[in-house]
Amino acid sequence: MLIDFTLQNFRSYKEAATLSLADLKWVALCGVNGAGKSAIIAGLTLFQQLVVAPTEEITDPLPFDPFRFDTTSHLVPTRFAVTLERGGSQYRYALSYDATRILSEELAVLLPGGQSQRLFSRQNGGIVQVPAGQRLAAAHTRPNALFLNTLQAANYQPAIAVFTWFAEDLVVLNDRPRTDLILNEWVVPQLTQFLHAVGSEVAGVRQRQMAVQFLDGSNFTRPDLALLYEKYDEEGEIEDVVELPLRQASTGTQQLVAAGLAFITAQIARNPQTVLADEFASAVRPEVATALLALVATDVNHSQLLFSTAHETLLESQTVPEQRCVAEKNYRGESTLHQFQQADQPALFTQPVVDGETLRTAFLTD
C-alpha cells in the first residue's frame, strides 16, 4: 500500500509537495484545470517507469522534466520519494536525478517506534553505503541506472520487495484495461455483474486471442476483450447476441471495463494494490462515478484509489477531509498541494467564470 509520495522540481511542482494516503481507501486530487492534479499522478507513474523500465545503455537519457518557468530549475535535480508497505514491512525509497545520471538514492526500512534503518545510500552520484555482500552489484551499477534495480537482480530481498511493489502493486488505470490480463472463470462473471450494477447495457464479456501480424510476415496472438450485446427484433424480442471488440466501444464503456477489471483483479492479488486514475471516470455519468467510489470505500475492496478530478459531484458524499487534496497554481506557474480543510471555499474546486464576449472576439477577424 502507498503511505505517502513526495515530488520536487517536476513539471509545475518547483518546491516539494507531499501526498499522504495513510490508511485511506481513496484520495481525490482536486482543483481547477491546470492546477497540477495530473502532475502528481504523472510523477508517481514516472517514478514507476524509472524503477521497472530502467535505461539499457550508459548513453540513454533519463526522463528529466523539471519546472520550466524560471532560469535555474533546469539545473536542479528532480526528486521522488515514496513510503510504502509490502509483506508486513514499511520502506522509504527516495532518489534524485537529472537528464544524465542518478544523483542520490536511498532505501530504508521503517522500524517500530518511528525509527528507521538505512539499507543503502547514494550521494553525489556515488554509492556510499552498500548492503553486505553486494559490492559487486554496486560496481556494476551505471551512473544512469538505479542501484535498486541492480540489487533486486542480485536477489537482495528488500530491493525485491520495493521493485515488486512498483511492478505489481502500483496500477495505472487507463481508458483500456491491460491486454495481458487473463480472465478466468471467476473474473468474467464478476465483471459482467459489475457492468450491470453500474447501469451498462453490456450483456457479457468474452476474451479472445487476437492475431497480430508484422510486415515481415511473422505473427503472434495476444488476449483481447470483446463485449456481448443483445440484439433485438422489431417486436423488441431478443433475437441474437452480437460481439463488439472493446476497442470499438464508447470511451465511457471502456473506462468502466478498465475500472471494473482493476478493482476485481485487485481482490485476488497477493498484496493490496494502489490504483492511479487521472480524471477518474470522466466519461461516465456522475452517479456511476459516485457509486464506484462507494464501492472502493467498502470493506470488500482491499485496494487504494488515487484519482484526480475537477468536478465537485464526485466529492459530495460523506467523506473525511483527509480524502481530498487541493492543487493550486500561482501566477508564477508553481503548483502547491494541501489537505482540504472544512473552511476551504467551494471556489477552490470550480472553474472561474469565462468571459463569453472576450471568448467570442477570439474568433473574429478583420
According to the model, what pLDDT value does residue 344 have? 53
Categorize the per-residue pLDDT at 347 as very low, low, confident or very high, splitting at 50, 70 and 90.
Answer: very low
* Cell numbers at 346, concatenated: 467551494
* DSSP E strands, the chain: 2-8, 17-20, 26-30, 78-86, 89-97, 102-110, 116-123, 126-129, 170-172, 204-213, 219-232, 238-245, 274-277, 304-309, 324-329, 335-339
| 340: nearest Cα among 2, 99, 20, 47 | 20
| 225: nearest Cα among 240, 204, 200 | 204
Spatial contact of 125 and 95, defined as CB atoms under 8 Å apart: no
Neighbouring CB atoms inside 10 A of 260's CB total: 24
* Cell numbers at 10, concatenated: 517536476
According to the model, what pLDDT value does residue 204 have? 86
Place of cell 492534479: 37
Record the pTM.
Answer: 0.88
Q: Which of 24-28, 159-163, 252-256, 279-283 has the lowest mean pLDDT?
A: 279-283
Spatial contact of 98 and 62, defined as CB atoms under 8 Å apart: yes
Spatial contact of 331 and 34, defined as CB atoms under 8 Å apart: no
* Cell numbers at 104, concatenated: 542520490
Q: What is the mean pLDDT of the chain?
A: 87
The residues that bridge with 6 in the sheet, in sequence order, are: 18, 81
Categorize the per-residue pLDDT at 188 as very low, low, confident or very high, splitting at 50, 70 and 90.
Answer: confident
Using alpha carbons only, what angle is made at residue 167 by residues 24 and 111, rounded to the nearest 5 degrees? 55
Q: pLDDT, tens digit, for every residue of 71-89? A: 999 999 999 999 999 989 9
| 47: nearest Cα among 29, 62, 67, 27 | 62
Cα distances (angstroms) measured from residue 86 to each of 90, 117, 166, 235: 6, 16, 11, 56
H-run or E-run covering 349: none
- Total residue count of the chain as it appears in this document: 366
| 80: nearest Cα among 2, 9, 155 | 9
Spatial contact of 25 and 296, defined as CB atoms under 8 Å apart: yes
Q: What percent of the chain has pLDDT over 70?
A: 88
Q: pLDDT, tens digit, for every residue of 235-260? A: 888 889 899 888 888 888 888 888 88
Domains of the chain and CATH, by start? 2-175+271-348 (3.40.50.300), 187-252 (no CATH)
According to the model, what pLDDT value does residue 178 have? 63
